[in-house]
Every structure is written in C-alpha cells, then in structure tokens.
Structure 1
Amino acid sequence: MDAFRAVATGRTLLAFELLLGSGQRIGDVLKMKWSDLEDGGLNVKQGKTGKPLWVPLTAQLHAALDATPKRSVFILTNEAATGPWSYRGAAQAIRKIRAQIGALDYDNHALRYTAAVELLNAGADDDVIAAVPGQSTAMVRHYTRSARQKVRALKAREIRT
C-alpha cells in the first residue's frame, strides 16, 4: 500500500484510496458521485447486492478527495469529464502501478480484503467490519481468516508471557 501511494498520482491514486477506504468493488467505486459525500462519508448503493450503505472516509481517502478537482458529477471521471472513468481504463491504470511496484499478485478486489483486515487489526468486531464493505459476518470471517489467526496467536503470546 505504501509503495502504491508513493508512485500513484491523480485519479489512479484516488481510485486506490476509494477502493481501500470504502471497501467496495471497483464497479461501485466508479459510479460514485460527489453528491454521494455526506457527513464525512460516502453513500453507496452496491451494484451486486443493491444494499445501501454509508461508509466513513478514511484520512487518506479524505485527503485524496480534497486534492481532486470536481470536473464532473462523478468522482472518478473520464478524460473528457463527461462521465465516469471506464472499468477498463481504471483497471489498466491501477494494474500499471501494480506492475511498476511488483504487486501484480494483488488485484483490485484484494483491497476489499485489506479494508476488512485493517479494521480487524484495529480491534473492530465482525459487525463493525461488515458495516464498511457491506458484507455478511460470514464473509467477513472468510476475508479475515488468515489475519484473524495472527491476531489470536499474538493474543496467545501475551497470555503466555
């Protein structure tokens, strides 16, 4: 994540921060509009589930949004500012940075996992984690399985010492 942030600029960095900060799928991120911003968060209607969510902005996402000029109703706009950035264009731009930093093994969807793991590592319970990506608690447990084992092992170390 640090390597991506060090290299990416403009709307590619904003796309990354929207994916990570909101925990949403790329298709939903590309549909986000400036009018979706409300009370320090984003109103999202998930395309796959139809579920409406309000997702709070992370500090990094807030900074990226503040640094972005409003050229269209869409947050991630195409070059002509006439509509949203295309799925293919956004995916290719992000992939280019991933190739540059040696992170091709991590696709856009991995940022949904990362958002959940960040919340887990911060001490959030499954219901709190689920509120951000709009997932069931069962899916949260699936996304955080590996990280959860490490959290528990660290807790075990604390108990043993």
Structure 2
Amino acid sequence: METADHHPRVSERRLNMRLMAYWQDLRGTGPHAPIERFDSEAVVDLWPHCFTIVPAPDPDKATFVHVGDMIAADSGLTTVGLVVSDIPADTLLAKALHLVAEVLKVKYPIVDSGEFTDHLGRPSLYRSILLPLTDGRGSVGLLVGGARCKVLRAEGQPSA
C-alpha cells in the first residue's frame, strides 16, 4: 500500500517467511524462542509492519509495546497507549490478532490469511503471522506479529 523510500514495500509472503525464519533461528534446537534473544534490529526493514504485545490473563488487556508505522496506518490507528480491546474489528491489526489465544496455547507461530473489509470500507486481502517468545520459565512473555494487506481493486476501476 505504501512505497516510501524509508519503508520499502515488503510483500506479504516475504514478511511471514522472514519472520518465521528469524523465529526458528532464535529457537535454535530448543522448543521455544527466548525473549532475551529477540532483537528488532535483525528485522529492521520489516519492523514498520510489525507489532509486539505483552500477554495478559485477560487477552483484551494485553498491551502493545510496539505498533509499526505501516501497520498502524493500514489500520487507521495512532499507536499511543493501545491495548488489544482498543483495536476496531475492521482493521488489519485486528485480523492479525485474532489467533492470539491459539498461539499462546500452542507456543508456536501461526500464519493466517484471508479477506476482509477494512476501516475505509475497501475489500482487502491480508497475511499475518504471530510469533511467541518465551521467558526463562517457558511461558509466553511477548508476542511478535507482522501483517500486510493489499486493497483489492473495485470492479470497473482501472488498476493503478
């Protein structure tokens, strides 16, 4: 959706594949990827399309540590002080979050994709990934997510 020089276009598949490969590198030969090994600089070109949340006993109260500029813009949101319950259902970020409970349960990344109508009423396709990072006790202490969307061309309109 954007092609600003400082945020090169990142395809949906490439985003998911690169984040998954990074998670697998962090995990090494163990069952989980530890939080302490995570470094956003390792995926700096993807970071505008990513978010991180700290899980909470009430999933709606999980807090965002980071919401990238591009995913916030694609969701029509500002990023100050967000909790999961603040996210409108018709946004890319909401689509990327809907499998949080499952990722927390299985402690393994989940890739998702589908179609939705965005906050501006446009039909869109999305792809997302949620990556669990564990603390020293094996509990998920941070979720890293990435998502991209593509607005579908309306019938009768020329492609750009």
- Tell me the TM-score normalized by structure 1: 0.29
More strand by share: 2
- Tell me the TM-score normalized by structure 2: 0.29
